[in-house]
Chain A
């Protein structure tokens, strides 16, 4: 087993500080460690073993153990193992040691924990507010169990602070939260000297809806519908991750036909999302013809979704234990025809746009995300793959039947808009191939396995590759088939800081283009 060798290494080094070890669901390795040694252990795993940090979250376990718990999730991506370091924070002294200096990707998680749980990260380089803006009263922490989720506290008015860049001729451009295009709200502060951007600070969480709190104490069926509404165009990936976690806890293996159905829908979602991004990139450089082409193809993909399940956004497709209906049965031919048509049109359009030197001029060497920064911030999805991070959840942590299907991960190194665009193009073509294979390999049979009541206080991860990248859901069940804690980390959360780095040195008019090439979800980040 893979965790054994890891267990040996870590025990040899920190034996006396590890209280407890446990393996759950085959690839989740939980380690309960001494809070005082946490920083050392985390740094060791991150720097020496080079496992990236993929999430940090807190959990109010005062009812269970009298303490708050902190979970640090690392991923061993070569063999597919999740390493979860758990420590506790006492409610009398609600502080914990920050690891943001050693692990830059941890900074945002720690700020989030401070806002929602009131645990202060000691030694954090910039512990400003993240989730709540100037209007949230001090000392109110919504994710603590004693906070009533329906209570709306009074409005406060604090001062908000932004990073200031001083120097001759440096000026600031505030943009948003209501933007010029039809996109979601977010506020951006550009510090600009002449033409190039020297710093960008993004203030997000404008669409914070309190999803995690809302799910606590609700039934597991109810929360599936909430999971579908985390982020509109990642509906399927999110609901799939949710189902995966619950199915793991309930020890249910879904029927093979449902697995194949999920693969088809997952790839269909990737297609619609990527085609939209490609259209957006072309639109932002005023290449109307290509944008119209991609938008047309996206329209075809949506029509296909409509014909399969009646919902353009693939909602109400997943059910706990499988799928709602056998959506593919009898429509195989239609899907294959649709794919054939898409493939032909896509290859034609790609040949046209890649031969347009004026278009390539705009996208090449624009918004370069350096490989090292991408690694430090754990950039996932097409953004990471364009910067040389060869990682895909479908390969490293294969779910459903992805280990039986043949497809390759796009690998680009330059990290510019052109690379991200090429990654998306290649993924579109790969998605078409996967759908072909899935329809061919699909067995007959039932599509749903009944689910019994889930045991209380069990936990599991659901990992999926959404169109934007690695999507991590962690669920702890409560009593009577409810949720105790639902932690959602969508790829947007990791990739937003990367966008702020990628725009540096570019001119302000290129920002929409760079932003579009990442195409991050605000709703998925803000929750």
Chain B
């Protein structure tokens, strides 16, 4: 008992002050950027990008990265012969509209789950949610086919370093208690039904946040026989958090954004 108290005294507060104080970016790898002034449009990065996230229109001299697909592997910066690609330390990338992450417009797969008009429902919910959820939020996490990286990062939101509960957010055991679904993974064939059932089990109004490159667009697992390309093929998504995996702070930022508690 004495030892325990000694430890508690030794570490009175280890929680970071993240949303209150800006993140100390340090050496962390964030969003890649292409400087079109330096770029020679040789196309080397497009060929080598593992997630095929880089797009280019040679005639217009335009090049860009679709961040919802990007897996932040830094390969483009290594391969570029003229050093036009720079890896920034920016990680707060969550957006509400997927097209904001993209250079080319997103083509979302046909939504063919019968009997649910998600689009209309989603819009209504979005409006309602803002008024309904004050400063408390119950979150249900669903893994729909991730590599478990995102799940570990979500897990670490609960640890004493990040401590999400201080912001009035709790992870709950059942979708019936949830206001927000935090979905990771590409929506695999085997998880599709479970994901839809979980969504339907959560009471309205509800929010859906897609965590990680896989959930946003399929990431590196795009176009496989066993997966759908991102969860917006199945559910209406309110906020997209890119990253592979996004850091706990980036996820926190995304959740706060979903609740309109972040001022742009």
A residues neighboring B (CB under 8 Å):
132-133, 135-136, 142, 147-153, 177-178, 180-185, 205-211, 213-214, 221-222, 225-226, 229-233, 235, 276, 279, 289, 292-293, 295-296, 298-299, 302, 306-307, 309-313, 315-316, 324, 348-349, 351-352, 355, 521-524
Do residues A316 and B189 form an inter-chain contact, with CB atoms below 8 A?
no
**Chain B nearest CB, measured from A89 CB (Å):** 23
Do residues B225 and A153 form an inter-chain contact, with CB atoms below 8 A?
yes
Bound complex: CA of A221 vs CA of B48, how far in Å? Answer: 8
Chain B residue nearest to A327 (CB atoms) is B27
Bound complex: CA of A214 vs CA of B188, how far in Å? Answer: 14
**Chain B nearest CB, measured from A282 CB (Å):** 12
Chain B residues with Cβ below 8 Å from A307 are 26-27
Chain A residues with Cβ below 8 Å from B150 are 232
For chain B residues 54-69, which have a beta carbon within 8 Å of chain A? none
Chain B residues with Cβ below 8 Å from A149 are 224-225
Chain B residues with Cβ below 8 Å from A298 are 156, 159
Do residues B225 and A311 form an inter-chain contact, with CB atoms below 8 A?
no
Do residues A232 and B159 form an inter-chain contact, with CB atoms below 8 A?
no
Among B153, B161, B224, point to the contact of A210 (Cβ < 8 A). Answer: B224
What string of 1s and 0s marks CB contacts (under 8 Å) between B19-58 and chain A?
0000000111100000000000000000010110000000
Among A142, A211, A230, A316, point to the contact of B74 (Cβ < 8 A). Answer: A316
Evaluate whether A180 and B173 lie within 8 angstroms (CB atoms) in the complex, with A209-B145, A225-B71, A289-B8 already known: yes
Do residues B147 and A232 form an inter-chain contact, with CB atoms below 8 A?
yes
Among B72, B151, B189, point to the contact of A208 (Cβ < 8 A). Answer: B189
Chain B residues with Cβ below 8 Å from A210 are 221, 224-227
Evaluate whether A184 and B194 lie within 8 angstroms (CB atoms) in the complex, with A210-B227, A348-B7 already known: no
Bound complex: CA of A368 vs CA of B192, how far in Å? Answer: 35
**B3 in contact (CB, < 8 A):** yes
Chain A residue nearest to B148 (CB atoms) is A232
Evaluate whether A209 and B7 lie within 8 angstroms (CB atoms) in the complex, with A229-B147, A276-B152, A315-B73 already known: no
Do residues B175 and A178 form an inter-chain contact, with CB atoms below 8 A?
yes
**B136 in contact (CB, < 8 A):** no
Chain A residues with Cβ below 8 Å from B173 are 180-181
Do residues B27 and A233 form an inter-chain contact, with CB atoms below 8 A?
no
Chain A residue nearest to B139 (CB atoms) is A182
Among A151, A225, A293, point to the contact of B7 (Cβ < 8 A). Answer: A293
Do residues B146 and A184 form an inter-chain contact, with CB atoms below 8 A?
yes
Interface size class of B (residues with CB under 8 A): 35 or more
Bound complex: CA of A235 vs CA of B245, how far in Å? Answer: 11
Evaluate whether A296 and B11 lie within 8 angstroms (CB atoms) in the complex, with A225-B73, A315-B73 already known: yes
Chain A residues with Cβ below 8 Å from B198 are 178
Bound complex: CA of A151 vs CA of B161, how far in Å? Answer: 44
Besides A235-B149, A313-B149, 14 other A-B contacts (C-beta < 8 A) = A135-B190, A149-B224, A150-B224, A178-B194, A184-B151, A206-B194, A208-B189, A209-B188, A209-B221, A211-B224, A225-B50, A229-B71, A298-B156, A299-B159
What string of 1s and 0s marks CB contacts (under 8 Å) between B72-87 and chain A?
1111001000000000
What string of 1s and 0s marks CB contacts (under 8 Å) between B93-120 and chain A?
0000000000000000000000000000
Bound complex: CA of A464 vs CA of B17, how far in Å? Answer: 39
Bound complex: CA of A324 vs CA of B73, how far in Å? Answer: 11
Do residues A182 and B148 form an inter-chain contact, with CB atoms below 8 A?
no
Bound complex: CA of A235 vs CA of B29, how far in Å? Answer: 16
Evaluate whether A352 and B3 lie within 8 angstroms (CB atoms) in the complex, with A183-B143, A289-B8, A292-B160 already known: yes
Chain B residues with Cβ below 8 Å from A226 are 50, 220
Bound complex: CA of A62 vs CA of B35, how far in Å? Answer: 47
- Tell me if B's interface is mostly helix, strand, loop or mixed: loop
Among A211, A213, A351, A523, point to the contact of B148 (Cβ < 8 A). Answer: A523
Chain B residues with Cβ below 8 Å from A348 are 3, 7
Do residues A523 and B147 form an inter-chain contact, with CB atoms below 8 A?
yes
B residues neighboring A (CB under 8 Å):
3-4, 7-8, 11, 14, 26-29, 48, 50-51, 71-75, 78, 141-156, 158-161, 171, 173-175, 185-186, 188-194, 198, 219-221, 223-227, 244-245, 247
Do residues B189 and A182 form an inter-chain contact, with CB atoms below 8 A?
no
Chain A residues with Cβ below 8 Å from B145 are 206-209
Bound complex: CA of A148 vs CA of B224, how far in Å? Answer: 9
**Chain A nearest CB, measured from B71 CB (Å):** 7
Do residues A233 and B148 form an inter-chain contact, with CB atoms below 8 A?
yes
**Chain A nearest CB, measured from B159 CB (Å):** 4
Do residues B3 and A351 form an inter-chain contact, with CB atoms below 8 A?
yes
Chain A residues with Cβ below 8 Å from B185 are 207
Chain B residue nearest to A273 (CB atoms) is B152
Chain A residues with Cβ below 8 Å from B48 are 221-222
Chain B residues with Cβ below 8 Å from A311 are 28-29
**Chain B nearest CB, measured from A73 CB (Å):** 25
Chain B residues with Cβ below 8 Å from A313 are 149, 152, 245
Do residues A231 and B194 form an inter-chain contact, with CB atoms below 8 A?
no
Do residues B143 and A184 form an inter-chain contact, with CB atoms below 8 A?
yes
Bound complex: CA of A32 vs CA of B222, how far in Å? Answer: 37
Do residues A296 and B147 form an inter-chain contact, with CB atoms below 8 A?
no
Chain B residues with Cβ below 8 Å from A221 are 48, 50, 75
Bound complex: CA of A333 vs CA of B247, how far in Å? Answer: 26
Do residues A306 and B7 form an inter-chain contact, with CB atoms below 8 A?
no
Chain A residues with Cβ below 8 Å from B146 are 184, 207, 232, 523
Q: What are 12 inter-chain pairs, A to B, with CB distance below 8 A?
A: A147-B225, A150-B224, A229-B219, A229-B220, A232-B147, A232-B152, A279-B159, A296-B161, A311-B28, A313-B149, A352-B7, A523-B146
Evaluate whether A183 and B151 lie within 8 angstroms (CB atoms) in the complex, with A135-B189, A226-B220, A289-B7 already known: yes
Chain A residue nearest to B213 (CB atoms) is A229
Chain A residue nearest to B11 (CB atoms) is A296
Among A151, A182, A310, A524, point to the contact of B29 (Cβ < 8 A). Answer: A310
Chain B residues with Cβ below 8 Å from A184 are 143, 146, 148, 151
